[in-house]
């Protein structure tokens, strides 16, 4: 099981520090400038940055400062390096576990120093409670036994109110408040680092400087709701794309008016559970995906089976969506025929005023609808 913090790196969401419980008794710690593998049962560091650690001395008593704090255990270059016990200035056992330098890592136990009772036992990353662990009261009773992140109980429902807020790879429901995350440090937004995400709600006026959003291969994603006037930046270059693909449980996509106005492509592919796709609103002249292409495609798993978007019931494009547009492709990859093939549940395709509006003088501008829908609809 992986427990990673997610942070911005060069404009993109990336996995940052964290722990990986690799199975058995081994824990991988990413932080303190290196990647450390440790065996919890044997109390040994296996490697650092893929290399064996040589020269560690065991059962060493090391004075840490003039206040009387000391370390008894593994030492390398006169620094704690491995498993041991840390005693405070009053000669009381405060911690037992892995430590590198001044930082507790991987796994350990912290104590109530005055009574010698375990306060916490479990995963530790950069000195903080992380991953699986249990907290105890002063009588030794369990207060909480579960998942941790950054010294706090892991919360899987997150409301993002400011850019510096903690994000992690176990988020299941993410709500971004309106007018949030609009600094220039945001670039492409790829949610693949949140593989457990089920619900994504982005409030109006958010991510205005983001140049691309990718919702791909998210096996648990069910709902995507994006408010008005989001993702309004991007400069209009060809790399500004809304891309949603291979999210097998995704049922609903909703995009408010004025969002993605300068994005150049809207790609929606291979969503076997999708029921509704709504972009923009009627009665509003704010544009979505201006001078952009629209691509909705299914996927064939074999030459005999067409799996397009078999649950799709409604596609609704509001006023001024793709006004003007450069191309429209709604395709079954099984037959390679433009528009909709074998989508027997489709009940309505609604296109608003000035939507799918080709520029004057455009060539090869056509939109074909192949009549392969159920005759009863």
Question: What does the pLDDT look like over 10-69, one tens digit per residue?
Answer: 889 999 999 999 878 999 999 877 899 999 999 999 998 888 889 999 999 999 999 999
Residues 128 and 238 in one domain: no
Which of 148-152, 269-273, 341-345 is predicted least confidently?
Answer: 341-345
Identify whether 258 is part of a domain: yes
pLDDT at 309 over 90: no
Residue 140 within any structural domain of the chain: yes
105 in the same domain as 133: yes
Do 219 and 338 fall within a single domain? yes
Instruction: Return the pLDDT at 68.
Output: 94
pLDDT at 235: 61
- Among 256-270, 279-293, 322-336, 362-376, which range has the highest average pLDDT? 256-270
Q: Does 362 have pLDDT greater than 90?
A: no
pLDDT band at 331 (very low <50, low <70, confident <90, very high): low
Report, as an integer, the average pLDDT of 199-221. Answer: 96
Mean pLDDT highest for which of 161-170, 246-255, 256-265, 316-325?
A: 246-255
**Residues 142 and 215 occupy one common structural domain:** no
Q: In this predicted structure, what is the pLDDT of residue 307? A: 44
Residue 237: per-residue pLDDT: 65
User: Does some domain include residue 79?
Assistant: yes
216 and 83 part of one domain: no
If asked whether residues 118 and 203 sit together in one domain, one would say: no
Q: Mind spelling out the 3-state secondary structure of the chain?
A: CEEEEEEEECCEEEEEEEEEEEECCEEEEEECCEEEEEECCCCEEEEECCECCCCCEEEEEEECCCCCCEEEEEEECCEEEEEEEEECCCCCEEEEEEEECCEEEEEEEEEECCCCEEEEEEEEECCEEEEEEEEECCCCCEEEEEEEECCEECCCEEEECCCCCCEECCCCEEEECCCCCCCCCCCEEEHHHCCCCCEEEECCCCCCCCCEEEEECCCCCCEEEECCCCCCCCCCCCCCEEEEECCCCCCEEEECCCCCCCCCEEEEECCCCCCEEEECCCCCCCCECCCEEEEEECEEEECCEEECCCCCCEEEECCCECCCEEEEEEEECCCCEECCCCCCCCCEEEECCCCCCCCCCCCCCCCCCCCCCCCCC
Domain end marker among 132, 152, 172: 152
Query: What does pLDDT average to over the chain?
Result: 86
In the predicted model, is pLDDT for residue 177 greater than 80?
yes
**Does 362 fall in a domain?**
no
38 domain-assigned: yes
- What is the distance between the alpha carbons of residues 134 and 120, in angstroms, rounded to a whole number? 6
Residues 124 and 167 both lie in one domain: no
Same domain, 142 and 185: no
pLDDT of residue 360: 59
Lowest mean pLDDT among 79-83, 110-114, 137-141, 361-365: 361-365
Residue 14 lies in a domain: yes
- Do 160 and 167 contact (CB within 8 A), yes or no? yes
The domain containing residue 224 runs over which residues? 155-351
* Comparison of pLDDT for 233 and 377, the residue scoring more: 233
Residues 32 and 90 reside in one and the same domain: yes
Residue 366 has pLDDT above 50, yes or no: no
Whether residue 75 sits in one domain with residue 203: no
Q: Looking at residue 226, what is its pLDDT? A: 98
Q: What pLDDT band is residue 377 in, cutting at 50, 70 and 90?
A: very low
In a domain, 223, yes or no: yes
Number of structural domains the chain divides into: 2
In a domain, 375, yes or no: no
82: left (phi > 0), else alpha (psi -120 to 50), else beta? left
- Do both 162 and 148 map to the same domain? no
Q: Which of 152, 183, 216 is the last residue of a domain?
A: 152
State the Cα–Cα distance between residues 151 and 121, nearest whole angstrom: 12
List pLDDT tens digits, range 104-162: 999 999 999 999 999 999 999 999 999 999 999 999 999 999 999 999 999 999 999 98
User: Of the residues 152, 177, 193, which one is the last residue of a structural domain?
Assistant: 152
pLDDT at 374 over 90: no
Confidence band (pLDDT; 50, 70, 90) for 173? very high
Classify strands 173-176 and 57-63 as parallel, antiparallel or unpaired. unpaired
Q: What percent of the chain has pLDDT over 70?
A: 85
For residues 199 and 310, state if they share a domain.
Answer: yes
Is residue 305 predicted with pLDDT exceeding 50?
Answer: no
Between 327 and 22, the more confident residue is: 22
């Amino acid at each position: 099981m992986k427990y990673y913090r997610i942070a911005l790196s060069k404009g993109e969401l990336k996995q940052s520090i964290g722990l990986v419980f690799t199975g058995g008794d081994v824990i991988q710690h990413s932080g303190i400038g290196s990647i450390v593998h440790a065996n919890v049962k044997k109390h040994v560091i296996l490697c650092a940055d893929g290399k064996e650690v040589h020269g560690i001395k065991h059962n060493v008593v090391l004075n840490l400062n003039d206040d009387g704090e000391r370390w008894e255990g593994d030492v390398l270059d006169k620094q704690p390096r491995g498993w041991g016990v840390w005693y405070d200035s009053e000669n009381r056992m405060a911690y037992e576990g892995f430590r590198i330098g001044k930082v507790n890592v991987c796994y350990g136990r912290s104590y109530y120093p005055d009574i010698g009772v375990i306060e916490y036992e479990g995963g530790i990353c950069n000195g903080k409670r992380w991953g699986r662990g249990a907290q105890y009261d002063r009588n030794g009773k369990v207060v909480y036994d579960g998942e941790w992140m950054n010294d706090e109980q892991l919360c899987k429902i997150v409301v993002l109110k400011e850019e510096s807020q903690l994000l992690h790879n176990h988020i299941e429901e993410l709500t971004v408040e309106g007018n949030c995350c609009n600094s220039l440090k945001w670039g492409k937004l790829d949610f693949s680092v949140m593989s457990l995400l089920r619900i994504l709600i982005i409030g109006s006026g958010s991510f205005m400087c983001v140049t691309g959003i990718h919702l791909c291969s998210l096996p648990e994603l069910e709902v995507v709701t994006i408010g008005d006037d989001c993702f309004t930046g991007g400069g209009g270059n060809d790399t500004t794309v809304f891309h949603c693909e291979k999210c097998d449980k995704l049922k609903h996509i909703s995009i408010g008016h004025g969002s993605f106005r300068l994005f150049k492509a809207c790609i929606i592919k291979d969503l076997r559970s999708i029921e509704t796709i709504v972009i923009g609103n009627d009665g509003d002249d704010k544009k979505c995906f201006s001078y952009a292409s629209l691509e909705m495609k299914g996927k064939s798993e074999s030459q005999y089976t067409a799996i397009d978007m078999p649950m799709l019931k409604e596609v609704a494009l509001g006023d001024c969506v793709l006004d003007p547009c450069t191309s429209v492709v709604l395709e079954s990859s099984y037959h390679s025929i433009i528009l909709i093939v074998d989508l027997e549940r489709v009940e309505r395709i609604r296109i608003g005023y000035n939507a799918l509006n080709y520029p004057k003088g455009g060539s090869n501008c056509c939109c074909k609808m192949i009549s392969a829908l159920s005759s009863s609809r």
